[in-house]
Amino acid sequence: MLTQRLLLSDRGGMIVLGLVLVTMILVPICNLLVPETSALHISTFTVTLLGKFLCYALLALSIDLIWGYCGILSLGHGAFFALGGYAMGMYLMRQIGPRGQYGDPILPDFMVFLNWKELPWYWQGFDMFWFALLMIIVVPGILAFIFGWLAFRSRVTGVYFSIITQALTYALLLAFFRNEMGFGGNNGLTDFKDILGFPIAASGTRISLFLASGFMLIIAYIACRYIVTSRMGKVIVSIRDAETRTRFCGYKVESYKLWLFVFSAILAGIAGALYVPQVGIINPGEFSPLNSIELVVWVATGGRGTLFGAIVGAFTVNYGKTVFTSYSPETWLFALGALFVIVTLVLPKGLVGLFNRTKKVASKNSSSNTPPENPVPTTDAPIKFAVNKSTENSISAENPVIAAAVKEPV
């Protein structure tokens, strides 16, 4: 019953998850067991790359959950990702122990050469893995809770919400750049040695991290599926489509939004925590508002409102980035920019939408009757009824309500 609800009814998701599983089985085999000379060998470079993509996919999933299903567009999700990453980074820094450049058993290198005498209080406890794990969940969660509580309670919605999330990540970016903060400033945290006692550069560790990312993605996917197919999921979608109506129906819109936002932030934090040991560095650049906007485009490219679309988007865009920056560096920004424009103009439902369209044509031909597979995101559907307007239409040029106030610009 539950399997039916979560997975079997979601063919696209099944395929994507299946592919992820196949990769998770094949990659370790091809990397560890197949000899390097063989054509089937997968290099450690590719493993790390795929591991990174899996983390990105998880991050994209967390954005899709709130944007695609609840209409909350966060332009600051990179902040939660980076916070999770920093929590993990702090654990890894503490693991270095006396193997740092200066041989200080406690203080990380950057503190030694800036003449710090003792570890700041917020670094305490990070030498324990369980504590770091807790923080990976708690820190982004609490920040999301406070921020969301303030924002949703005062009904900051749509564009306004997007802009203040941007302000949030920008403020964190500036703060983490400061060396006084004790997070290594611009250089961030790097030069990790091992995790849970295993050397971080060993291929076994890499494979384990890769597998962990894959499992986390699958678990998160199922959890998200559970949420969106539950009763709560229906309320969430109705909030996206008609927030005021839902409120009038007696639902506590604020709490639904808040808990979904917190959950999404935690997912992003976990993604960050898995990302850091694989790329080997966390620095304030991850907080950059531009990064966060780019994340949104992954989701848009893949297709929002379908959970697997986010995964497809994250993989496609990042793979494109890897290829472009190797073979034709100058054109990468042109390509990325064009992608933004084309996706919003031509493919409002993303790549997944493209396949769906093909499917519709096919099903028409065979005159079979397939039930709609995905919840229809009305955010990009043409607006027909006033009640159908999503929150983000609030300052539409066609919206007479807002326009009334624009009457006198003075």
Partner 1 sequence: MRNVLKPSGHWLLHVIVVLSFCFSATVFSQEAETSAEAGTTSAETISANVSNEANSQPEFDSLVKELTQGSLPARAQTAKKLAALKDERVAKIIGALQQGTLYATKDENPLVAIADEAGNYTNAISGEKIIGDTEELKRVPINNSMRSQLRTLLAQLNLTHQDATIRLDAVNRMIADGIDEDSISLLQELQKSEANDGVRKAIDSAVALFNLHSNDQQLRLGAIEVLKDSLQQEVRTALSEVASNDTDEKVKIHAQLAIKAIDSSIAKYRFAENIFFGLSLGSVLLLSAIGLSITFGVMGVINMAHGELMMIGAYVTWVVQQVFPNQIAYSLAIAIPAAFIVAGLVGIAIERGVIRFLYGRPLETLLATFGISLILQQAARSIFSPLNRAVELPVWMSGSLQINPVFSITYNRLYILIFGLLVFFALLVILKKTTLGLKVRAVSQNRAMARAVGVRANWVDAMTFGLGSGIAGIAGVALSQLTNVGPNLGQAYIIDSFMVVVFGGVGNLWGTLVGAMGLGIINKFLEPYAGAVLAKVLVLVLLILFIQKRPKGIFPQKGRAAAD
Partner 2 sequence: MKLKKIAKHVGALGIACGLTIASFSAAAADTIKVGVLHSLSGTMAISETTLKDTMLMLIEEQNKKGGLLGKKLEAVVVDPASNWPLFAEKTRELLTKDKVAAIFGCWTSVSRKSVLPVIEELNGVLFYPVQYEGEESSRNVFYTGAAPNQQAIPAVDYLMNEVKVKRWVLAGTDYVYPRTTNKILEAYLKAKGVKQEDIMINYTPFGHSDWQNIVSDIKRFGSAGKKTAVVSTINGDANVPFYRELGNQKVTAEDIPVVAFSVGEEELSGIDTKPLVGHLAAWNYFMSEENAANAAFIKQWKAFIKNPKRVTNDPMEAHYIGFNMWVKAVQKAGTTDTDKVVDAIIGIEAPNLTGGVSKMLPNHHITKPVLIGEIQEDGQFLTVSKTDNLVPGDAWSDYLEGSKDLESDWIKLKCGNYNTKTKKCLGAAAQ
Burial class (CB in 10 A: 0-12, 13-18, 19+), 343: buried
195 forms beta bridges with 198
- Footprint of partner 1 (CB under 8 A): 73, 147, 150-151, 153-156, 158-160, 162-164, 166-168, 170-171, 174-175, 177-178, 289-290, 293, 296-297, 300, 330, 333-334, 336-341, 343-345, 348, 379-380, 383, 392-410
406, interface contact from partner 2, partner 1, none, CB < 5-8 Å by kind: partner 1
Cβ 311 vs Cβ 351: under 8 Å: no
247, interface contact from partner 2, partner 1, none, CB < 5-8 Å by kind: none
200-229 footprint of partner 2 as x/- string (CB under 8 A): -x----------------------------
Q: Would you call 389 helix, strand, or coil by DSSP?
A: coil
Residues in contact with 295: Cβ distance below 8 Å, sequence separation at least 6, in sequence order: 56, 59, 60, 63, 77, 78, 81
Residue of 55, 75, 139 lying closest to 287 (CA atoms): 75
65 forms beta bridges with none
Among 9, 48, 394, 399, binds partner 2 (CB under 8 A): 48
297-312 burial string, b = 16+ CB within 10 Å, else e?
bbbbbbbbbbbbbbbb
**Contacting range for partner 2; rule: CB under 8 A; set: 102-110, 126-134, 338-346, 399-407:** 102-110
Phi, psi of 112 (to 5 degrees): -65, -50
Residues in contact with 200: Cβ distance below 8 Å, sequence separation at least 6, in sequence order: 92, 192, 193, 194, 277, 280
8, interface contact from partner 1, partner 2, none, CB < 5-8 Å by kind: none
Contacts 24+ apart (CB under 8 A), 326-329: none
234, interface contact from partner 1, partner 2, none, CB < 5-8 Å by kind: none
110, interface contact from partner 1, partner 2, none, CB < 5-8 Å by kind: partner 2
**Contact status: 301 vs partner 2 (CB under 8 A):** no
- The DSSP 8-state label assigned to residue 199 in this structure reads E
**Contacting range for partner 2; rule: CB under 8 A; set: 58-66, 70-78, 320-328, 377-385:** 320-328
The residue ranges that bind partner 2 (CB under 8 A) are 11-12, 15-16, 19, 23, 39, 42-46, 48-50, 52, 98-104, 109-110, 112-115, 174, 177-179, 184-188, 190-193, 201, 279-281, 283, 285, 315-316, 319, 322-323, 325-326, 329-330, 332-333, 351, 355-356, 358-359, 362-363, 368, 370
